[in-house]
Amino acid sequence: MTQLYACVPSSWLWMPKWARLTLGWISVTIFSMTFLSGPITLLLFLPQAWSFAPSLSKLFSASVVISYLLPLKEWPYFRRVGQLWYEIFQVSTNLSIDEVKERIQSAQVSTGITNIHPHGIIPIHGIILGAYFDQYFGQDCYGFAAAADVVFYVPFLRNILVRRRLS
């Protein structure tokens, strides 16, 4: 039987556990809600919504426009937010810290494939995997992930999930 090692949110250990969990649940809820931006946008463009909540409609519409005007580049600090989700989803790995260091040292002569499961419509796993690689492998490892094209049309999500290799 393979031993599993719990992932530790090292960037957030200064914070009490109850605060980490609260902040983690807030961030995962906001992240998941970005997938509702399309339907909400359509609803807020209806005349009934403008008469009901005109300032809310304008604010939401402006945030969608701002999101599309932002340059398509990664937000690396968001990977640290993914560490908050370790405890919520009980993320663990089959590699110890020593095995991670050993794999990094041998990376010049070998390649590897890492996967995470389960995965689904809302790519929470992508944020967790990005946080894991950023924390445990840092700049010593480069990888890519696949996503549906529709991800790049969801406001703000396109900036969170994109990762480009810096030359």
Q: What residue spans define the domains of the chain?
A: 5-33+74-161
Question: CA-to-CA distance for 53 and 159, rounded, in angstroms?
Answer: 28
The answer for residues whose C-beta is within 8 angstroms of residue 38's C-beta and 6 or more apart is 154
Among 91, 153, 152, 17, residue whose Cα is nearest residue 164: 152
- Render pLDDT for 145-164 as a digit per residue (tens, 0 to 9): 566 677 666 766 666 666 54
Helix (H, G, I), strand (E, B) or coil at 77: coil
- Cβ proximity of 45 and 62 under 8 Å: no
Q: What is the mean pLDDT of the chain?
A: 75
- Render pLDDT for 24-70 as a digit per residue (tens, 0 to 9): 999 998 888 877 766 776 666 666 656 666 676 677 777 777 877 87
Least confident of 28-32, 102-106, 136-140: 136-140
For the full predicted model, state whether its pTM sits above 0.85. Answer: no
Is residue 14 very low, low, confident or very high in pLDDT (cuts 50, 70, 90)? very high
